[in-house]
Amino acid sequence: PQQPLPRFPEGSPFDEFFKDYFDNEQRRSPSQRPMIGLGSGFIIDKSGIVVTNNHVIEGADEITIIMNDQKEFTAELLGRDPKADLADLAVLKFDSGELILKSVKWGDSDKVRVGDWTIAIGNPLGLGGTVTAGIVSAISRDIGNGPYVKFIQTDASINRGNSGGPLFNTEGEVIGINSAIISQTGGSIGLGFAIPTNSAK
């Protein structure tokens, strides 16, 4: 915050001293810059409907979809569901213009079993298009993230920026939406959690 300059009698040596001090402090203060957050999402309808996590876009003034070929589109928020309410989901829409979109297939998360192979795709730490693989470590996992969702646990590497990205089965169907990790370091230690698609739908 801008602090008022103390007032001293005219000609006082303190007058120049404090003026220089406050000028230097203001120069050192960081200017206001826009905050930029990165996350993941996936297209569920060719009309440009995208699913991601609510916490990826929460508080955003602008939402930009960046495709894997680096084309950018402005998105609007259709609806969201904070994790305190249900499942930490957000649904976006964007106009792709002439670009023909491909959408993913929903899988049946109720058929997921411990030991099934999983594939996570996302934008961890800004490294877009990253693919990791693992297995389903547990199902119906309660991680205290809300009363309704029982998460799919996977050991596929999930890091910051993977939030909102798809968790696939080996048929190429989305079985979960990567949403959280448990970690003492902030990086993946093989404890990743995805919202089951049957809850997300």
Query: Which is the catalytic residue, given 137, 163, 179, 188?
Result: 163
45 among known catalytic residues: no
Is 55 part of the annotated catalytic residue set?
yes
Q: What is the DSSP string of the chain?
A: -PPPPPP--TT-HHHHHHHHHHHHHHHHSPPP---------EEEETTTEEEEEHHHHTT-S-EEEE-TT--EEEEEEEEEE-TTTSS-EEEEEE--TTPPP--PEE--GGG--TT-EEEEEE-GGG-TTEEEEEEEEEEEE--SS-SS--EEEE-S---TT-TT-EEE-TTSEEEEEEEEE--SSSS-SS-EEEEEHHHH-
- The question of whether 85 is a catalytic residue gets the answer yes
Catalytic residue among 55, 88, 157, 188: 55
Which residue among the candidates 20, 23, 45, 85 is catalytic per the annotation?
Answer: 85
Active-site amino acid positions = 55, 85, 163
